[in-house]
A and B are shown apart, each in its own frame.
Chain A
Amino acid sequence: MPPVGAHLSEEWAEVEYGLQEGFVSTIEGDELVVHGECPRCHAQTAWNFRTGQMDEVSKAIADSVAAQETTILCACGYTHKNRPADANENGCGAYWPIKIPEVGQ
């Protein structure tokens, strides 16, 4: 296992992983942001959640979804070979479920 932050330049591929742990949640601006390490390319990645109506994500809203399982994908921002032009993503292609962590834990 490479150290945290040690990015592996894997080729882009839609690889499915099991439930990942070790993610943390923060409220940044009007979004709930979940940070953690991509299980495939091992880069630090973040996935943002917004309300459906462009409202600010309050602590109450964040708490209401805590521990819910959801799928996120790698958004490491690194270049990965063979990423299709229309992929509309900026990671290595990996995706995995997490349990949304409670903000501040």
Chain B
Amino acid sequence: MSLADKKWAKLADEQQFSQLQKVHGTAANWRTALLAITSLFAVVTIIKGPEKAADLSSTGKIVVAILVGIAFAGLLVASGLAMYAAYGFPSREKLLTGETLREWTASEARTARRCLKIAAPVFFGAFVAVAGAIAVTWFDKDWFPPSPPAFLYVERTDTPSGVARAPICGELKTGTATTLVIKVKKATGPEEQTVPLTDVHRMAVLAECPG
């Protein structure tokens, strides 16, 4: 034991007078960081969001929207709690005595600490939601693959002169009482082809066109 132990004992005793300042200082740092992250997230989402969302599947869009909503809400709640912890609200006017000041200081420090204890996990939850939203934008096609389009395969009757007509396979665009319009992929690009129903010998729905 040495004189230093005595000094430490005195220092520990004096901590009660600076505790609130320390908690407020910690909360102020949290508030600054949270507001900066929330602003950055908002700006990135507003600028890049619509562009990225356009490439997503419909399920991906819903999942990302929910995750981004959760992240925003979480960041706002965490920022609000950190602000409350850093500043508090003006309390009811009362006579300032040593005892009331001591009680108020202890109560403020407790409240600020509780707010930060909630703000921290909420922030990390929001962070996980952001990470989830980013992951969905990256792996959207793997996680939510688009359902393969059904292709209509039409075998046609021969021409009146007896010449065989090649079958047509493609995406059915429209149909009427007398015709089918089928979008066929050709070497020159997609082309819509109208097939009279009178020419149809047989039809089948395929996952992929042959050849």
Contacts and interface: CB of A to CB of B under 8 A. Distances in A.
The answer to whether A binds B is: yes
A16 B113 contact: no
Which applies to chain B's interface (DSSP): helix, strand, loop or mixed? helix
20 contacts: A16-B1, A30-B106, A48-B13, A50-B15, A50-B16, A53-B19, A53-B23, A54-B19, A54-B109, A54-B110, A55-B110, A70-B9, A71-B1, A71-B9, A73-B10, A89-B10, A95-B1, A95-B6, A95-B9, A96-B1
Contacts of B19: 52-54
Find the residue from B6, B23, B113 having the highest chain A CB count within 10 A.
B6
Interface of A: 14, 16, 30, 47-50, 52-55, 70-73, 88-89, 95-97
Interface residues of B, number: 21
A54 B10 contact: no
A73 B113 contact: no
Interface of B: 1-3, 5-6, 8-10, 12-16, 19-20, 23, 105-106, 109-110, 113
A99 to B, nearest CB: 13
B5 A97 contact: yes
A70 to B, nearest CB: 7
Contacts of A70: 9
A80 B73 CA distance: 61
Nearest to A89: B10
A26 B110 CA distance: 23
